[in-house]
């Protein structure tokens, strides 16, 4: 059976269709979250949120609540909690590291208290794209609407905030409130993506398209559009290739996104023509 036949056969299955829909929805919201992560320079956030999610799961198991819901809530609270430290990018990165250590320690403590097997809690972190449930699609769909909508509505404020916090403050941008909102969105998105697609895929869906777009776009608007475009193309092709050649979707998607990011970094920087060349044109 050729790869194409296999692909055609597989896409008729409901879980595969759901996974495909999930990936397309994810490509609309998560790369934009990646742009925020790159813009605020908080790459370690995904590790921190993974540990916080684990803490949420542990608390959920101890209290007998839905562990996934607890993980999302814990991440949202943690995201809002570190926001006051966002005055300088260094402080925020450091806070993420601290949060990570505290969360894993607390999670292990809670797991020991609740007497459940720690492996059971860890297993919830390794989601699979083919196990996507309708409720997960709802989370992804909400993010696919909310995140781009925020970017359209507050475009000016976001561009200023990600460029220079002090300039934004002096231009009347509610920097503190906007940072809290962004960090909560980042935290919830990362937690959601980890649960849906496994920890490895989070990079493919959020960071890598944003890193590639950062090289290709010259303004926040252009970077956001590039990130979403790259996300959609990478997710669709990566998923079809995984189906056709019977490969695990997670690694294929990461490799595809990574290849795009690599190519973007090897391209000569667009529009970086020296300002000297421009000086001749500018009237003085």
Q: How far is the CB of 162 from other proteins (least distance, A)?
A: 4
Q: How far is the CB of 109 from other proteins (least distance, A)?
A: 35
Q: How far is the CB of 84 from other proteins (least distance, A)?
A: 12
Q: Would you say 14 or 282 has its CB closer to other proteins?
A: 282
* Binding flag, residue 115, other proteins (CB under 8 A): no
* Binding flag, residue 280, other proteins (CB under 8 A): no
Q: Which string of DSSP letters, residue by residue, matches 162-225?
A: HH-HHHHHHTT--HHHHHHHHHHHHHHHHHHHHHHH-HHHHIIIIIHHHHHHHHH-SSHHHHHH
Of 63, 171, 262, 263, the one binding other proteins (CB under 8 A) is: 171
Q: Would you say 40 or 252 has its CB closer to other proteins?
A: 40
* Binding flag, residue 220, other proteins (CB under 8 A): yes
What is the size of the binding site for other proteins (CB under 8 A)? 32
Please report how many Cα atoms fall inside a 13 Å half-sphere around the Cα of residue 21, on the Cβ side: 18
* Binding flag, residue 88, other proteins (CB under 8 A): no
Of 4, 69, 88, 89, the one binding other proteins (CB under 8 A) is: 89
Contacts of other proteins in 178-217 (CB under 8 A): 217
* Binding flag, residue 265, other proteins (CB under 8 A): no
Greatest Cα pair distance in the chain:
75
Euclidean distance between CA atoms 69 and 139, whole angstroms = 11
Quote the tokens at residue 76: 């949202």
* Binding flag, residue 39, other proteins (CB under 8 A): yes
Q: Kindly provide the b/e burial profile for residues 195-230, where b requires at least 16 CB atoms within 10 angstroms of the residue's own CB.
A: bbbbbebbbbbbbbbbbbbbbbbeebeebbbbbbbb
Q: How far is CA 264 from the centre of its chain?
A: 19
Q: How far is CA 214 from the centre of its chain?
A: 15
Of 125, 169, 181, 200, the one binding other proteins (CB under 8 A) is: 169
Of 166, 245, 263, 265, the one binding other proteins (CB under 8 A) is: 166
C-alpha separations of 178 from 80, 83, 151, 171 in Å: 11, 10, 11, 14
**Three-point CA angle 264, 269, 270, nearest 5°:** 105
Backbone angles phi, psi at 146, to 5 degrees: -65, -45
* Binding flag, residue 170, other proteins (CB under 8 A): yes
Of 1, 14, 266, 278, the one binding other proteins (CB under 8 A) is: 278
* Binding flag, residue 262, other proteins (CB under 8 A): no
Of 25, 194, 207, 223, the one binding other proteins (CB under 8 A) is: 223
Chain residues binding other proteins by CB under 8 A are 38-39, 41, 89, 156, 159-160, 162-164, 166-172, 217-220, 223, 271-273, 275, 278-279, 281-284
């Amino acid at each position: 059976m050729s790869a194409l036949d296999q692909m055609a056969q597989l896409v008729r299955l409901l879980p595969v269709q759901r996974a495909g829909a999930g990936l397309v929805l994810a490509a609309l919201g998560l790369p934009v979250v990646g742009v925020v992560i790159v813009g605020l320079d908080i790459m370690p956030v995904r590790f921190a949120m993974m540990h916080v999610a684990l803490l949420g799961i542990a608390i959920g198991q101890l209290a007998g609540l839905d562990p996934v819901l607890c993980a999302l809530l814990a991440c949202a609270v943690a995201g809002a909690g570190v926001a006051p430290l966002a005055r300088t990018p260094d402080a925020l990165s450091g806070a993420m590291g601290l949060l990570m250590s505290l969360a894993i320690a607390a999670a292990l403590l809670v797991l020991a208290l609740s007497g459940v097997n720690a492996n059971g809690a860890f297993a919830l972190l390794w989601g699979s794209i083919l196990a996507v449930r309708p409720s997960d699609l709802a989370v992804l769909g909400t993010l696919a609407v909310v995140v781009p909508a925020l970017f359209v509505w507050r475009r000016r404020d976001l561009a200023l905030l990600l460029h220079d916090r002090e300039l934004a403050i002096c231009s009347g941008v509610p920097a503190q409130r906007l940072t809290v909102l962004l960090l909560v969105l980042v935290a919830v998105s990362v937690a959601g993506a980890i649960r849906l697609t496994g920890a490895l895929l989070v990079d493919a869906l959020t960071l890598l398209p944003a890193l590639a777009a950062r090289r290709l776009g010259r303004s926040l608007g252009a970077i956001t559009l590039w990130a979403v475009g790259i996300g959609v193309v990478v997710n669709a092709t990566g998923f079809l290739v995984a189906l056709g050649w019977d490969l695990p979707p997670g690694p294929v998607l990461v490799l595809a996104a990574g290849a795009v990011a690599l190519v973007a970094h090897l391209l000569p920087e667009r529009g970086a023509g020296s300002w000297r060349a421009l000086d001749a044109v500018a009237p003085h």
